[in-house]
């Protein structure tokens, strides 16, 4: 998901809509905006579909006036299978003794089932099936005297990944979980401030990127400025390494470096680890493009756009059903036959999950007359599901859960298939010594099976680590 908030500007919701549009790659199912205006109070609008189709008309935007607003773009993950209902669309709103508050959450709460059960037993009435709603109910039960105090208390009971943007009548609040699994950044716009999942959304509104919110940090922003504190027990940070590989936009800055540069470095590392004699390096667009450029630069094999992407299609992976995803590959990608015919082609993609994309693309490339097909993947084999906010399927659907690299190559019937090593990936993201086995510098659970937060709900349901 993507979260965004602005305080201290006129018609804040317009900026939020722009910000959400820039974060659309983080969630395409639905979006919502809540605003506050001193005269009109709180208002909200929540819709299915793209930001550009929902939050551009004057009529709609006029319903969310005021100098303070937050928003969310949704992508449903582990806890919430099936079709999204409008009541699951964030931000969520709660009315407390000291006034209202709205929250937008990116991540996944790994003890949400247990919390929900407990809260329901004690009388909470849930409106949605979303794990994030627990935060509102925990806040309602808190005895804290201010909304930030209540939020703090609520979030101390929550396990898992959360980057939260919240608002009261007068304050914009940002919090990152103690491991800092999902990103969150702070920007300055005019006399006001913005909080965003990624810096690309600050760019679109002309805000200046100030800094990342730190793991475990809470910032409370009002007219007087930004107050920061650290309400959680400090822990070694575990930022999601897959944000570098796939999730974030290439024009965002993560850890002081553009995601594009990191992906290019991943491609170079991939070429060093897994060279092969071939005529062309082609990306599987768009997610494989920077890594393919890196692979080409390192290997000296020419880069070519052997596959063309239809720009009017969204991210295939985010389509909820298998059938749509299967179709999706052809709707989205087409082979540039003229370039491919008679060539030995290296295809670079960011990841292999179920293998749907790679299988289809191989067929298309061979149909177009390629002589050889070599897959090079910019992440290690995805052998474990993510429980922290990226929607990987159940373990039995992951190709790498039951097959070795060689078996996958055979299964996909390609001339070769190679993945970057976990150490190689760490080097490429800037950890030049590689992965610290005793205390990995990132979350890499989907590759290593080492979960930095015990996914207790999933274990209750029988998941074996």
Residue 181 engages ligand SF4 in binding (rule: CB under 6 A): yes
Helix 133-141 with 147-157: angle, nearest 10 deg: 120
Contacts of 97 (CB under 8 A, 6+ apart): none
Q: Tell me how far CA of residue 457 lies from CA of 78, 81, 250, 463, in angstroms.
A: 11, 14, 33, 9
Residue spans of alpha helices (H) in 23-107 = 51-54, 58-61
| Pairing between β-strand 344-349 and β-strand 372-377 as defined by DSSP bridges | parallel
Closest CB 352 distance from Mg ion, rounded Å: 10
Give residues 333-352 in contact with ligand 5GP (rule: CB under 6 A): 349-352
Residue (354 or 418) nearer to ligand 5GP, CB: 354
End-to-end CA separation in angstroms for the chain: 25
DSSP secondary structure, 110-151, as one string = TTHHHHHHHHHHTT----SS-TTHHHHHHHHH---SSHHHHH
List the interface residues with ligand 5GP, window 271-330 (CB under 6 A). Answer: 284, 287, 315, 317-318
242 contributes a contact to ligand SF4 by CB under 6 A:
yes
Residue 458 engages ligand SF4 in binding (rule: CB under 6 A):
no
- Interface with ligand 5GP: number of residues (CB under 6 A): 20
In the block, tokens 């103690």 appear at 178
| Residue 108 sits in the site that holds ligand 5GP (CB under 6 A) | no
**Does residue 197 touch ligand 5GP according to CB under 6 A?**
no
How many residues bind ligand SF4, per CB under 6 A? Answer: 11
- Choose one: 41-49, 287-295, 424-432, 443-451; the region binding ligand SF4 (CB under 6 A): 443-451
Residue 354 touches which of ligand 5GP, Mg ion, ligand SF4, none (Cβ within 5-8 Å per kind):
ligand 5GP
Q: By CB under 6 A, tell whether 354 contacts ligand 5GP.
A: yes
Residues that bind Mg ion (CB under 5 A): 287
Containing 266, the helix (H) or strand (E) segment is: helix 259-273
| The pair of three-digit structure tokens given for residue 319, joined into one six-digit string | 């389509």
Which partner, ligand SF4, ligand 5GP, Mg ion, none, binds residue 353 by CB below 5 to 8 Å per kind? ligand 5GP
- Classified as helix, coil or strand, 68 is strand
Residue selected from 3, 390, 420, 429 as contacting ligand 5GP according to rule CB under 6 A:
390
The site for ligand 5GP (CB under 6 A) is made up of 246, 284, 287, 315, 317-318, 349-358, 382, 390-392
The site for ligand SF4 (CB under 6 A) is made up of 181, 240-242, 386, 388, 390, 443-446
């Amino acid at each position: 998901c993507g979260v965004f908030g602005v305080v201290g500007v006129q018609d804040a919701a317009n900026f939020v809509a722009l910000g959400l549009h820039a974060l659309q790659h983080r969630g395409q199912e639905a979006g919502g905006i809540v605003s506050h205006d001193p005269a009109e109070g709180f208002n909200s609008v929540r819709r299915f579909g793209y930001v550009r189709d929902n939050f551009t008309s004057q009529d709609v935007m006029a319903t969310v006036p005021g100098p303070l607003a937050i928003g969310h773009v949704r992508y449903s993950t582990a806890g919430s299978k099936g079709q999204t209902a409008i009541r699951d669309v964030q931000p969520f709103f709660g009315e407390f003794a000291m006034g209202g508050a709205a929250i937008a959450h990116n991540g996944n709460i790994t003890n949400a089932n247990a919390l929900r059960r407990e809260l329901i037993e004690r009388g909470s009435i849930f409106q949605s099936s979303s794990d994030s709603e627990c935060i509102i109910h925990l806040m309602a039960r808190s005895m804290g005297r201010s909304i930030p105090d209540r939020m703090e208390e609520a979030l101390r009971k929550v396990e898992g990944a959360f980057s939260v943007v919240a608002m009261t009548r007068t304050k914009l609040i940002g919090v990152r979980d103690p491991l800092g699994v999902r990103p969150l950044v702070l920007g300055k716009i005019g006399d006001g401030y913005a909080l965003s999942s990624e810096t690309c959304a600050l760019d679109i509104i002309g805000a200046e990127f100030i800094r990342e919110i730190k793991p475990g940090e809470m910032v409370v922003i009002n007219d007087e400025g930004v107050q920061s504190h650290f309400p959680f027990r400090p822990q070694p940070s575990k930022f999601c390494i897959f944000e570098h590989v796939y999730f974030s936009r290439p024009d965002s800055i993560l850890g002081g470096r553009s995601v594009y540069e990191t992906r290019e470095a991943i491609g170079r590392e991939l070429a060093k680890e897994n060279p092969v004699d071939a005529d062309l390096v082609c990306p599987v667009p768009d997610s494989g493009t920077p890594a393919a450029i890196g692979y080409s630069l390192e290997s000296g094999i020419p880069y070519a756009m052997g596959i063309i992407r239809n720009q009017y299609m969204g991210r295939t992976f985010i389509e909820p059903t298998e059938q749509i995803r299967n179709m999706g590959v052809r709707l989205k990608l087409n082979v540039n036959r003229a370039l491919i015919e008679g060539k030995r082609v290296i295809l670079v993609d960011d990841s292999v999950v179920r293998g749907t994309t790679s299988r289809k693309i191989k067929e298309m490339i061979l149909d177009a007359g390629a002589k050889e097909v070599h897959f090079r993947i910019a992440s290690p084999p995805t052998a474990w599901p993510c429980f922290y906010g990226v929607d990987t399927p159940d373990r039995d659907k992951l190709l790498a859960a039951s097959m070795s690299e060689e078996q996958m190559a055979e299964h996909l019937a390609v001339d070769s298939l190679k993945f970057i090593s976990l150490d190689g990936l760490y080097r490429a993201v800037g950890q030049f010594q590689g992965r610290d086995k005793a205390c990995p510098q990132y979350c890499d659970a989907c590759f290593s099976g080492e979960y930095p937060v015990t996914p207790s709900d999933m274990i209750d349901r029988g998941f074996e680590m």
